[in-house]
Copies of this chain bind each other. A is one copy, B any other.
Amino acid sequence: MKKLINSLIVLALVGTAISCSNSESGGKSNKGALASSAAEKVYVAPGEHDEFYAFMSGGYSGNLTVYGLPSGRMFKEIPVFSQFPTSGYGYSEETKPMLNTSFGFVPWDDAHHPDISQTNGELDGRWIFINGNNTPRIARISLTTFETEEIIEVPNSAGNHSSSFITENTEYVVAGTRFSVPIPQKDMPIKDYKSNFKGSLSFISVDPEHGHMDIKFQLMMPGFNYDLSHPGRDKSHGWFFFTTYNTEEANSLLEVNASQNDKDFIAAVNWKKIEEYVNNGGGTMMPANYAHNVYDESTHTATTTMKKEVLTVDPLKVPGAVYFLPTPKSPHGCDVDPSGQYIIGNGKLSADLTVHSFDKMIAAIEAEKFDGEAYGIPILKFEDVLAGTVKSGGLGPLHTEFDGKGNAYTTFFISSEVVKWKLGTWEVIDRKPTYYSVGHLMIPGGNSRKPFGKYVVAMNKITKDRYLPVGPEMEHSAQIYDISGEKMELIYDFPTHGEPHYAAGCPAELLKNNAKKIYRLDENKHPYAITSPDQAKVERKGNEVHIYMSTIRSHFTPDNIEGVKVGDKVYFHITNHEQDFDVPHGFSMIGQNSSELLIMPGQTKTNTWEPKKVGVWPFYCTDFCSALHQEMQGYIRVSPADSDIELSWSLGED
């Protein structure tokens, strides 16, 4: 056993060693004329725009970041699962409900796999979905406002990792358990894991008009770890594929104990069949408790609904719904080619890639050629479903994307490279090193029916010496390769914010004309909005003081307020009366135990302040808004709790 541990440690460390030897060559290959050519390829001149959007998950930042390609510039960090002091997300009264869960307010998560909505298997640019790993949730982000509009918690799940991938008409966004748990949860010995814990695969329906999510059903699977997934498409539409590891059902020291089996599985789920089953009354409604948080753009406010039950499905009750495809060496990535024919399982402790054939799988199912079962689920024979094996020569394959021209690109963590190979012939066409130890990769549309195969972005896990040093904690690093020719060409390194696990890209044209520029004041239905500065007022309700405040360049209305007392809870409801693009105002109050508010034109936001000391206290605009921005300030007088000073407010009465 000790020997096995040692060999695994060597395996785990080898990436680093390889990385260091690569270091030398990294800088040298791009000088002179080649550097000039690469420079021109990534350069986006002032005033010009990038060709592609890249939406990168923030990983442990909890957010989603928006980059341009080929420049590698970050245009926005969209707060999703984490508090974001910059804008007040998760601090303002309107957005705090977005982070509610059955565990209470959870200010952080680990955001992994963004996926853009699709119609007929092609990106349609309406929404982007992303999963929260730690406290299982799925978020939906608008691709007109680029803001998070909805978060649904996923009950009966843990380590929500094989998520959030969508079917080819956005019928479902899928969320799969990484860590199996007792379902329902109960106090039981951890060592009784085997055969008692379950892994749930949740199919969450997406309303075709508004995008609203609802858990349609949860498939209760054996207690494996469901690592990644992708939908079938085109000919395999109606199926969903999930990699599993830890089919050993180990509950401790998984780096050793979950690496015992030569093969784990890809689970093939016929969701159309299960959908039909539940539409006909199948499944078992189970008590549950999970939050559904929806942000309403017209009220600029989120609300939480706690949902109390969920429909569960036992796969054994739906014959023909689930099969296991044996796949070597703890498969990680699970990717489906644009035709829907090939399902690629990347055994992360392997050198080779396993490619399954959808047609062969169907034939084997129809012929009922099984190789036993696992917890009652039929196992297909490896040889019967195998389309081919890519003899890569690399180590530690993780993820595969496609260029739409018959080629696939697979990342290798341990040997630190991207390998280009040909679908159908399985021959390796090219390989290029990554600096260092690449995880996911992304080609815009590269996991849809219609990829845009001009660039591939490698998201590397180890940064080390790629940039000027900044202490022990560093950003992760991405690299962009031009893949328009036969050979890949590394053209640029750029740091990424947080830890991107996967990304979703699309051509600029899909989104750029739909992006919202302002919120219309005449559509603002916030209950504390005021439609013009002359409606500004201050109201007392017991010890609550509600300030209906206006901002417009460059003053607050009102900007002098008296009659607030120690012990009051003051609500600042700020409406930004600008109606021009890119004129936000910010609001902050000295000593506030909260963040600022960054208020977009036409928007209303609220935060609170509980003054603890008498005095005259200032507030000001935090976003440089005009030549007279520095003059945009005001004062609030705070009197003792027993003061009889009446509320009053004014502007310009010096």
Q: Which residues of A (173-187) have their CB < 8 Å from a CB of B?
A: 178-179, 181-182, 185-187
Please determine whether A46 and B618 come into contact, CB atoms closer than 8 angstroms: no
Please determine whether B562 and A9 come into contact, CB atoms closer than 8 angstroms: no
Please determine whether A12 and B159 come into contact, CB atoms closer than 8 angstroms: no
Is A623 in contact with chain B by the CB < 8 A criterion? Answer: yes
Our pick among B62, B251, B596 for the contact of A85 (Cβ within 8 Å) is B62
Is A370 in contact with chain B by the CB < 8 A criterion? Answer: no
Q: Which residues of A (477-495) have their CB < 8 Å from a CB of B?
A: 479, 490-495
- Tell me the bound Cα distance from A68 to B495 in angstroms: 11
Please determine whether B187 and A637 come into contact, CB atoms closer than 8 angstroms: yes
Please determine whether A181 and B617 come into contact, CB atoms closer than 8 angstroms: yes
Our pick among B107, B254, B501 for the contact of A632 (Cβ within 8 Å) is B254
Min Cβ gap A265→B in Å is 15
Please determine whether B652 and A473 come into contact, CB atoms closer than 8 angstroms: no
Our pick among B27, B135, B187 for the contact of A638 (Cβ within 8 Å) is B187
Please determine whether B60 and A467 come into contact, CB atoms closer than 8 angstroms: no
Is A527 in contact with chain B by the CB < 8 A criterion? Answer: no
Min Cβ gap A358→B in Å is 26
Interface of A is mostly: loop
- Tell me the bound Cα distance from A104 to B594 in angstroms: 11
Is A152 in contact with chain B by the CB < 8 A criterion? Answer: no
Is A390 in contact with chain B by the CB < 8 A criterion? Answer: no
- Tell me the bound Cα distance from A138 to B592 in angstroms: 17
List residues of chain B with CB within 8 A of the CB of A190.
560, 562, 616, 635, 637
List residues of chain B with CB within 8 A of the CB of A25.
47
List residues of chain B with CB within 8 A of the CB of A439.
624
Q: How many residues of A contact B (CB 8 A)?
A: 194
Please determine whether A515 and B471 come into contact, CB atoms closer than 8 angstroms: yes
List residues of chain B with CB within 8 A of the CB of A258.
631
- Tell me the bound Cα distance from A335 to B47 in angstroms: 31
Please determine whether B251 and A582 come into contact, CB atoms closer than 8 angstroms: no
Our pick among B68, B181, B581, B603 for the contact of A618 (Cβ within 8 Å) is B181
Is A447 in contact with chain B by the CB < 8 A criterion? Answer: no
| With A53-B468, A624-B439, A624-B461 as contacts: A35 and B45 at CB distance below 8 Å | yes
| With A82-B85, A252-B650, A255-B555 as contacts: A146 and B27 at CB distance below 8 Å | no
| With A47-B26, A110-B596 as contacts: A652 and B257 at CB distance below 8 Å | yes
Q: List 25 A-B contacts (CB under 8 A).
A: A23-B47, A27-B48, A29-B47, A46-B466, A46-B490, A47-B435, A47-B493, A50-B467, A58-B86, A60-B596, A76-B471, A103-B593, A107-B595, A135-B590, A182-B615, A185-B614, A187-B638, A187-B639, A252-B653, A253-B559, A254-B555, A254-B631, A348-B627, A468-B511, A473-B584
Other A-B contacts than A145-B472, A253-B652, 5 sampled, CB-CB below 8 A, are A60-B586, A75-B474, A77-B497, A182-B616, A245-B631
